[in-house]
Amino acid sequence: MTKLFGILLLLLLFAPVSWAMSPESTNSCHCFKDRAFIPEKKFAADKYLLTTSFNSFIAVNFNLSKRQIVMMKMKGGIDPDTLLIALYVAREGGVELDNILAILEHGGSWEQVFSSASLKGSAKAKDVFAEIVATKGNTTVAAEIVTDQLLQSYFGIGEDEVVSLHKEGATGRESVLVNILAQHSSRDSKPADILIMHSRQQKSWGEIANYFGFTPKETGHLLKSP
């Protein structure tokens, strides 16, 4: 019996861990426990809904699969905000993502990234690069700057619309979600109207998605990645 237990323990230790790396995982090594909208716990699935929608948004913008994004966050131990900024800088600046991550991994700053790499890109992109440097290592703020740029280019909205959503209290992830719902639901609602359901009417994001006919998981699949 002891021998059998030892064999089972070895199998568990060396078994593949892909089950823990589903596309909806966080950047740590656990999965969301609440993934369905339940009226009695209406806010429970909000974090999952916002994360899976945002992962889809990143995936379609950078032609990646959601699994690739999660693997980089989990297996590579890359902070989600840092990864988003690096993906944007690599694409817009015409440099290799791995080169950027290598500099950061060895304690380099974003300022060093921009001085070490031969960044190309449009004048607009270079303005964004300057804004990233100006955050002085605040990746949360820098990631919001990048998200705003992606929102404008992907959904074809103006900077004033993005600013208006922020003034209403929306984070970058929430701005992405309201635009996804406005674009894909059969109801004729504008992103600002959807945001007000959350910011002023105190509805949860799961509740709002349900109103538009989507489960949290379905909402996360509205944007198709490779």
Written as one string, the DSSP assignment of 91-143 is HHHT--HHHHHHHHHTT--HHHHHHHS-----HHHHHHHHHHHHTTT-HHHHH
What does the angle CA 163 – CA 165 – CA 166 come to, to the nearest 5 degrees?
65
What does the angle CA 50 – CA 53 – CA 59 come to, to the nearest 5 degrees?
135
- Convert the pLDDT of each residue in 155-175 to its tens digit: 999 999 999 999 999 999 999
Helix or strand or coil: residue 171? Answer: coil
pLDDT at 225: 72
Q: Which of 178, 203, 200 is nearest to 189 (CA)?
A: 178
CA distance 196 to 123: 34
Q: Which of 152, 45, 35, 133 is nearest to 93 (CA)?
A: 133
pLDDT at position 1 over 80: no
Backbone angles phi, psi at 95, to 5 degrees: -125, 165
Domain edges within the chain: 43-67+75-220
* Pairs from 131-135 (Cβ < 8 Å, separation ≥ 24): 132/85, 132/89, 135/110
CA distance 107 to 82: 13
Reported confidence tier of residue 226, pLDDT bands at 50, 70, 90: low
pLDDT at 77: 80
Please give the structure tokens belonging to residue 61: 């913008």
Determine contact, residues 157/180, Cβ cutoff 8 Å: no
Beta-carbon contacts of residue 80 (< 8 Å; ≥ 6 apart) = 27, 73, 143
pLDDT at 116: 79
Helix or strand or coil: residue 212? Answer: coil
Q: Which of 49, 114, 116, 109 is nearest to 88 (CA)?
A: 114
Angle between helices 46-62 and 139-155 (to 10 degrees): 70
pLDDT at 25: 40
- Convert the pLDDT of each residue in 9-57 to its tens digit: 333 333 333 323 334 443 333 478 899 999 999 999 999 999 999 999 9
Radius of gyration for the alpha carbons in the chain, expressed in angstroms and rounded: 20
